[in-house]
């Protein structure tokens, strides 16, 4: 059965180490679109951090979709309509903000419109994230967060400090939320039912596609869920060794246009 939907991660996958889309990747995406394949950017980033890439890849037309916040938000790109939106409650925010303080790591919450931190000493990785995804940063006390529609929370800090903190997170947090490490300095927290995999399943159902007609291309732990649900899981050569274990195919690295190679070899065959 042919591939009808390809979910593509961004960092370490779609983009080179210089954060560029190569001409080869651009052309392969256009070839896939011309063949009627839905190419769906699937990322932990918020929508603001994806908009320019969608425009660059010509994925802003009617019938184009995007999955953001690690699956918490699925949208029709042209209309902006939400197909899936799963948020965290204010009580979730308070519990996670208190946990971050207990663990001694920086933390911020992300809405559709901005990044909010209760850390007076704003962490450098919060600034890094804001620059990466083109979003403003706001300092707000926990009491000022009651009316915010929070889609994702991130624990962010130096890798050694973050790893130490992760080892101390009580098990009940893993029962209540989905926690995934997307970078050495990022631990992302979303609602328990949220994952890139669940988002792809939902979108495939909406489009009338069988899961045997799906492919995903990724490189890191936060791609695991989508790689496990699709029929054709593809991992980048530069990917996490543990994630490579669940791959059906290993493609070239992100600096070698691995997404283009995967599309042409296993989807446009």
> What amino acid positions are annotated as catalytic residues?
9
Determine the 3-state secondary structure of 234 from DSSP.
strand
Residue 120 C-alpha from the chain's centroid: 27
Q: Distance between CA 137 and CA 122 in Å, rounded?
A: 9
For 60, 143, 203, 248, 252, the CA distances from 80, given in Å and listed in that order, are 10, 30, 15, 33, 33
Residue labelled with tokens 């992302």? 188
Angle at 151 between CA 147 and CA 157, to 5 degrees: 105
The DSSP code sequence of 72-86 is: TEEEETTT--EEEE-
């Amino acid at each position: 059965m042919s591939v009808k939907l390809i979910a593509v991660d961004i960092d370490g996958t779609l983009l080179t180490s210089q954060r560029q889309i190569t001409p080869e990747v651009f052309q392969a995406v256009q070839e896939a679109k011309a063949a009627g394949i839905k190419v769906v950017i699937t990322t932990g980033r918020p929508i603001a951090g994806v908009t320019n890439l969608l425009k660059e890849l010509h994925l802003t037309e009617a019938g184009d979709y995007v999955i953001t916040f690690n699956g918490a938000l699925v949208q029709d790109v042209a209309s902006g309509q939400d197909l899936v939106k799963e948020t965290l409650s204010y009580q979730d925010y308070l519990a996670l903000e208190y946990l971050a303080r207990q663990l001694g790591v920086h933390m911020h919450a992300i809405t559709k419109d901005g990044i909010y931190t209760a850390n007076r000493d704003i962490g450098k990785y919060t600034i890094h994230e804001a620059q990466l995804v083109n979003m403003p940063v706001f300092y707000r006390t926990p009491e000022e967060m009651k009316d915010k529609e929070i889609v994702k929370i991130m624990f962010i800090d130096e890798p050694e400090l973050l790893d130490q903190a992760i080892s101390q997170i009580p098990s009940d947090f893993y029962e209540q939320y989905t926690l995934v490490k997307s970078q050495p300095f990022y631990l992302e927290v979303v609602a328990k039912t949220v994952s890139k995999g669940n988002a792809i399943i939902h979108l495939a159902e909406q489009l009338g596609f069988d899961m045997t007609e799906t492919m995903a291309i990724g490189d890191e732990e936060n791609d695991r869920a989508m790689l496990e649900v699709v029929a054709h899981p593809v991992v980048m050569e530069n990917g996490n060794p543990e994630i490579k274990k669940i791959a059906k195919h290993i493609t070239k690295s992100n600096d070698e246009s691995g997404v283009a190679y995967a599309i042409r070899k296993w989807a446009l065959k």
